[in-house]
Structure 1
Amino acid sequence: MPIPADRPHLKHWPARLPRELAVPDTTLWFNLEVAAQRWPDKPAWSCLGHDWRWREVRRQAEALAGWLQAQGVGRGDRVALFMQNCPQFVVALYAVVRADAVVVPVNPMNRADEFGHYITDPDTKAVICGAELAEVVRQADARLPEAQRLRALLVTGWDDVLGPERRIDPDLAVPPAMQALLQAEPPLPEGATRWADALAAGLAPGPHLARPDDLVLLPYTSGTTGLPKGCMHTHRTLMPNIVGGSLWSHVGAESVTLGVVPFFHITGMVYGVLAPAWSGATVVVMPRWDRVLAGRLIARHRVSHWTCIPTMIIDLLASPEAASLDLSSLRFLSGGGAAMPQAVAERLQRDFGLTFAEGYGLTETAAPSHANPPERAKLQCLGLPLFGTDARVVDPVTLAELPAGEVGEIVTCGPMLFTGYWKHRAATEAAFVELPGMPGRRFFRTGDLGRMDEEGYFFLTDRLKRMINASGFKVWPSEVELLLYRHPAVAEACVIGARDAYRGETVKAVIVLRAEARGQVGEADIIAWAHEHMAAYKAPRQVEFVETLPKSGTGKVMWRLLQDHQRAREGEGEGGRERA
């Protein structure tokens, strides 16, 4: 359904771009096949001095697809990918796609207590993981009933990238912590298969039968209650941002991008894994963020495009080597997940001639639904609605559209919207609405509060949903609370956000201890336990012990009251810190 011609952002739409896309009626696998035929020997993904060429990526993906099908993975079955950024992530994803199955990307920071959910909820048949994470998978799987356990576990190590000698380009000066990760050789769990052995099996997959409207990606995102929910994306819902992102940012086969945003994350997935197979661009892969290494990789590979989160830019410019950084090859710098501080954006423009084009999106929108055109970007702004996307600001209660400048909930309707939450029909129905006077047009409720200016640019002001944004990582308090309740000393817990000068926000736990633990368990004990049982970005960095938690008449914990008290203390300077 075309967007109305009177939408204000269309008056400022870049003249170089179409307003809507002619999205191919094909699958993600077709993109890789075409790239491998067009540029068979061109580097596709490059990692620490080792190139994986398009021909090789396709060959390995087909071999692994055959192996997956031999393990009983059929059309529509779910396969979890659980690893750091590496070329094998890309191969594994396209192998699952070639096998007509569904990719479930999982944050490699998850612990065994968390990972079990990604086996049971999507009914996962197989997991492909990094060697350092295989034990996490084994522990999670061992705790499940026999009927829910995995059929197969495929393990890859850094020798599959770097060779048996694990050679790393010495000129890159890879930091010690990353060196330790790359050189580690954990034992293979019983029953697991090595990556090299699966390739050597030489199993050919059956015909590729997937269709554009088939489910292909199931990334998880958390809501305000309960455990993370899977967002159902088809080939068709992913293609708009794959195609549109390349047009928007001038990406082509000559482009070189820096793949440092985690590939499991929807932004890293679209820009580091899926879009390159459409454009033919080369991706320089960083397993983990390191500011010194990032600067050297940009200079060495003449990186032209970099999608990141603002905290990476802040960290890079704070490096002792900042004055000598060679960023002259960069032509397009974009990102989101957190607001870019104005002072940092101005320094980028002043010292390097670079405009940071912020964007906005959610897992439900397959990454961006809004973006700033680089030729007319506004600071600390979400940007314009993308190709074929109609976005509005509405009253959260009445859903009546609000005039420019007024704050309300951002709702969006576009071709990149997910089809719904996996196994959560009620949540899906609640997520979509029809606005008054616009029958037949379904808008997605983002849960974010914002405003639109007279030119149709959108700005974020607050969050309607209960969420903490720590350096671009979304932390959902209810999930952290559920994990904290497993601590034997915790009687009650409420998680809120606290300001942090570097991360923007950080996680704070307000805890009521069990009677026998009072005086015996301290803040450091809770924090240490949390780091053992949940991803580091979710783990509380602040803990406050209280006698009781405030509750409503129905017995619900009044988290909003605690959050407001925290903000009041920060505003008064009592332990408060400025937002980055």
Structure 2
Amino acid sequence: MFDRHFSVWPEGLPKRLTIAATSLQYNLEVSAARYPDKTGVAYYGSDISFRQLKTEADAIAAWLQQHCGVARGDRVVLYMQNSPQYIIGYYGILTAGAVVVPANPMNLTGELTHYVEDSGARVALCGQELYPYLRPLLTDGDLNHAAVAAYGSYVTGDLGLTLPDVVREPERAPQDDGAVSWSAALDAGYALPLEPVDVGPDDMAVIPYTSGSTGRPKGCVHTHHSVMATAQGGVLWNPMQVNHVNLATLPFFHVTGMQSSMNGPLSTGATTVVMTRWDRTTAAELIQHYGVTHWRNITTMAVDFLNNPELGRYDLSTLQGIGGGGAAMPSAVAEKLHTMTGLSYIEGYGMSETIAQTHVNPPNAPKAQCLGIPVFNVDSRVIDPETLAEQPPGAVGEIIMHGPQVMREYWNNPDATAETFMELDGKRFLRSGDLGYYDEDGYFFMVDRLKRMINASGYKVWPSEVESMLYGHPAIQEICVIATPDPKRGETVKAVAVLRPDAADSTSEQDIIDWARSQMAAYKAPRYVEFVERLPRSGTGKLLWRELQEAEHGRAG
């Protein structure tokens, strides 16, 4: 067991944590019973009590069971932006005994089709602005039922804020067979019986999808126990209690937002202030109005927030904890944050496969640009990726981890599961694919990636997935996707392409960019395209992507 970090362990916290043996939806049941009239969700000036969250989650569960035929273990796609309906839908799916399949709201029809077909989901809950991308799956028969939510129907108060476009949209009832409005699903659910489902810690709860180094996105099977591990651990590591107020700006479909901004706070009875779209001025207004105490974000979000020239107008004194990940926090920005708030930015590290954090900096002794130390019950090591031999302090190798939050498996993908796990000292360790090292104090640091991956504003982009989609363009003969530095996103996507001879004179770089944006999520689509006569290959024909990547970094300095 790796224990080098125990010397800097947060004071007063146990080194091991007993994970609750109850289901996730029981957390909502408890908070609704304890604090029925307390605001569970604040949404642009509107307050939604824990009682209302529980009542509506039960209604959605009854609709799923009785109208849609959803049974224990069935998968249900949740395709929305941050909103009260996301939280209600998430817990409604769990209350029905089903499994949440969170879909990135930036995904388009082609990407969404893979989620549906691979998971076997027959029902979806989606945002109204996203329904045009979901609709073909319903009309083609991939899905049987859908409930369509207009976020603005939950805005009943007015703080004088500029609301995002999607929140200002009025509810429009869908006209397709099998699709109903959110309000219609709720009304139907109120009139239907809710069948209790005996769900325990070993049952599936959530299957977030992550791309691998090759192939299509893979579903990470998480149980109620593994999700509970980081939800419960997170609110102890960065202490959050019933009277705290949490600002939710990270997307709930992403495991960090799901755990630190939704499941964790809800389990303690804390209030969550939900933002559907990021806006730095609105964030400052909400922190001041609600007295926000906790805020988890990504580095690019924090940088944008601190660059607001009007930030000095707002009272940020209630903030007690701020941190995140996605990319290393620049030291100058961390210093500016500390000067303004007196707070250190607490960085952490996790993966979809670990349903958020496995490493977090101790709040009392953080190190800059550091992944942190292994959290409760986590045994993390560094190994030589070739020999699998364990590495000493300071030696770079692949980071591996064993802990209660590690996924059970990749959904219906035993080969990928076998490749991702290894055994060491009689334990099953997850191979992260990230290269790093730990220092004498047990702090872990990232150095590079063992596998190809682009980190665009905290979103993981796997070049092989983008390449497979770009090959659908009729003008492309060969393609290689690499990272290029970006001042705001850290990295962004660049495609190096060889065109077919008959298309070379009639195809522009912008043509490829525009086509890509119509086929895939915006964060995956190349922002830059370079045409070349040929791609570098080895003597055996293997694409030498690293050669292109190093040349790109060289040009960028």
What does residue 182 of structure 2 align with?
195
In the TM superposition, residue 477 of structure 1 has moved relative to its aligned partner by 0.7
Match of 2:48, SS state, is: strand
Give me the TM-score of the superposition, normalised by structure 2: 0.97
Q: Are 1:125 and 2:122 matched, yes or no?
A: yes
In the TM superposition, residue 428 of structure 1 has moved relative to its aligned partner by 0.7
Match of 2:10, SS state, is: coil
Q: Is the contact made by 1:155 and 1:193 (CA closer than 8 Å) also made in structure 2?
A: yes
In the TM superposition, residue 373 of structure 1 has moved relative to its aligned partner by 1.2
Alpha-carbon separation, structure 1, partners of 2:168 and 2:203: 36
What does residue 42 of structure 2 align with?
46
Alpha-carbon separation, structure 1, partners of 2:539 and 2:138: 40
Q: Is the contact made by 1:172 and 1:297 (CA closer than 8 Å) also made in structure 2?
A: no
Select the residue among 468, 486, 498 that pairs with 1:482.
468
In the TM superposition, residue 569 of structure 1 has moved relative to its aligned partner by 2.1
Select the residue among 67, 70, 74 that pairs with 2:71.
74
What does residue 363 of structure 1 align with?
352
Match of 1:172, SS state, is: coil
Match of 1:81, SS state, is: strand
Alpha-carbon separation, structure 2, partners of 1:497 and 1:415: 33
Q: Are 1:457 and 2:443 matched, yes or no?
A: yes
Q: Is the contact made by 1:83 and 1:133 (CA closer than 8 Å) also made in structure 2?
A: yes
Q: Deviations over 1:174-197 (max 9, x none)?
A: 4xxx13652265661402111111
Select the residue among 495, 515, 525 that pairs with 1:529.
515
Q: Which runs of 5+ in 1 are unaligned?
A: 572-580
Map 1:416-435; keep pairs closer than 5 Å: 416-435=405-424
Further displaced range: 222-231 or 208-217: 208-217
What does residue 51 of structure 2 align with?
55
What does residue 312 of structure 1 align with?
301
Q: Which runs of 5+ in 2 are unaligned?
A: none
In the TM superposition, residue 285 of structure 1 has moved relative to its aligned partner by 0.3
What does residue 336 of structure 2 align with?
347
The code of the aligned residue for 1:285 comes to: V
Alpha-carbon separation, structure 1, partners of 2:96 and 2:542: 46
Match of 2:122, SS state, is: strand
Aligned length: 553
Q: Is the contact made by 2:482 and 2:545 (CA closer than 8 Å) also made in structure 1?
A: yes
What does residue 155 of structure 1 align with?
148
Select the residue among 559, 564, 569 that pairs with 2:545.
559
Alpha-carbon separation, structure 2, partners of 1:399 and 1:557: 26
Q: Is the contact made by 1:12 and 1:455 (CA closer than 8 Å) also made in structure 2?
A: yes
Q: Deviations over 1:417-450 (max 9, x none)?
A: 1001011101111111123xx1x21111101011
Percent same amino acid at aligned positions?
49
Match of 2:534, SS state, is: coil
In the TM superposition, residue 550 of structure 1 has moved relative to its aligned partner by 2.0
Map 1:246-261; keep pairs closer than 5 Å: 246-261=235-250
Q: Is the contact made by 1:132 and 1:184 (CA closer than 8 Å) also made in structure 2?
A: no
Q: Deviations over 1:230-272 (max 9, x none)?
A: 0000001111111111111110001100011000000111122
Select the residue among 513, 516, 528 that pairs with 1:542.
528
The code of the aligned residue for 2:181 comes to: R
What does residue 577 of structure 1 align with?
none
Q: Deviations over 1:263-293 (max 9, x none)?
A: 0000111122211221111000000101111
Select the residue among 509, 516, 525 that pairs with 2:495.
509
The code of the aligned residue for 1:106 comes to: A
Match of 2:273, SS state, is: strand
What does residue 90 of structure 2 align with?
93
Give me the TM-score of the superposition, normalised by structure 1: 0.93
Q: Is the contact made by 2:44 and 2:159 (CA closer than 8 Å) also made in structure 1?
A: no
What does residue 231 of structure 1 align with?
220
CA distance 1:180–1:198, shift in 2 (3 Å): closer
Q: Is the contact made by 1:467 and 1:477 (CA closer than 8 Å) also made in structure 2?
A: yes
Map 1:290-301; keep pairs closer than 5 Å: 290-301=279-290
Alpha-carbon separation, structure 1, partners of 2:267 and 2:129: 31
Alpha-carbon separation, structure 2, partners of 1:410 and 1:480: 25
In the TM superposition, residue 493 of structure 1 has moved relative to its aligned partner by 1.2
What does residue 576 of structure 1 align with?
none
Alpha-carbon separation, structure 2, partners of 1:515 and 1:235: 54
The code of the aligned residue for 2:184 comes to: D
Alpha-carbon separation, structure 1, partners of 2:222 and 2:175: 32
Q: Is the contact made by 1:116 and 1:141 (CA closer than 8 Å) also made in structure 2?
A: no
Q: Is the contact made by 2:381 and 2:399 (CA closer than 8 Å) also made in structure 1?
A: yes
Alpha-carbon separation, structure 1, partners of 2:202 and 2:405: 12
Match of 1:241, SS state, is: helix
Alpha-carbon separation, structure 2, partners of 1:183 and 1:331: 35
The code of the aligned residue for 1:198 comes to: A
The code of the aligned residue for 1:379 comes to: A
Alpha-carbon separation, structure 2, partners of 1:44 and 1:291: 23
Runs of 4 or more off by more than 4 Å in structure 1? 184-187
In the TM superposition, residue 370 of structure 1 has moved relative to its aligned partner by 0.3
The code of the aligned residue for 2:360 comes to: A
Alpha-carbon separation, structure 1, partners of 2:138 and 2:479: 28
Q: Are 1:278 and 2:263 matched, yes or no?
A: no
Q: Deviations over 1:496-515 (max 9, x none)?
A: 00111111101000111122
Alpha-carbon separation, structure 2, partners of 1:18 and 1:182: 46
Q: Is the contact made by 1:138 and 1:189 (CA closer than 8 Å) also made in structure 2?
A: no
What does residue 245 of structure 1 align with?
234
In the TM superposition, residue 140 of structure 1 has moved relative to its aligned partner by 3.8
Match of 1:46, SS state, is: strand
The code of the aligned residue for 1:194 comes to: S
Alpha-carbon separation, structure 1, partners of 2:123 and 2:55: 21
Question: What do you get for the CA RMSD once the two structures are aligned?
Answer: 1.4
Select the residue among 498, 506, 530 that pairs with 2:484.
498
Q: Is the contact made by 1:509 and 1:540 (CA closer than 8 Å) also made in structure 2?
A: yes
Q: Are 1:18 and 2:4 matched, yes or no?
A: no
What does residue 110 of structure 2 align with?
113
The code of the aligned residue for 1:475 comes to: V
Q: Is the contact made by 1:160 and 1:195 (CA closer than 8 Å) also made in structure 2?
A: no
Q: Deviations over 1:115-163 (max 9, x none)?
A: 11011000011000011111101124445xx4xx21211111134312x
Alpha-carbon separation, structure 2, partners of 1:564 and 1:330: 41
Alpha-carbon separation, structure 2, partners of 1:239 and 1:172: 35
Q: Are 1:31 and 2:58 matched, yes or no?
A: no
What does residue 179 of structure 1 align with?
165
In the TM superposition, residue 368 of structure 1 has moved relative to its aligned partner by 0.3
Select the residue among 427, 431, 435 that pairs with 1:441.
427
In the TM superposition, residue 464 of structure 1 has moved relative to its aligned partner by 0.7
The code of the aligned residue for 2:26 comes to: F
Alpha-carbon separation, structure 1, partners of 2:196 and 2:15: 36
Select the residue among 551, 554, 557 that pairs with 1:568.
554
Q: Is the contact made by 1:125 and 1:151 (CA closer than 8 Å) also made in structure 2?
A: yes
Q: Is the contact made by 2:152 and 2:166 (CA closer than 8 Å) also made in structure 1?
A: no
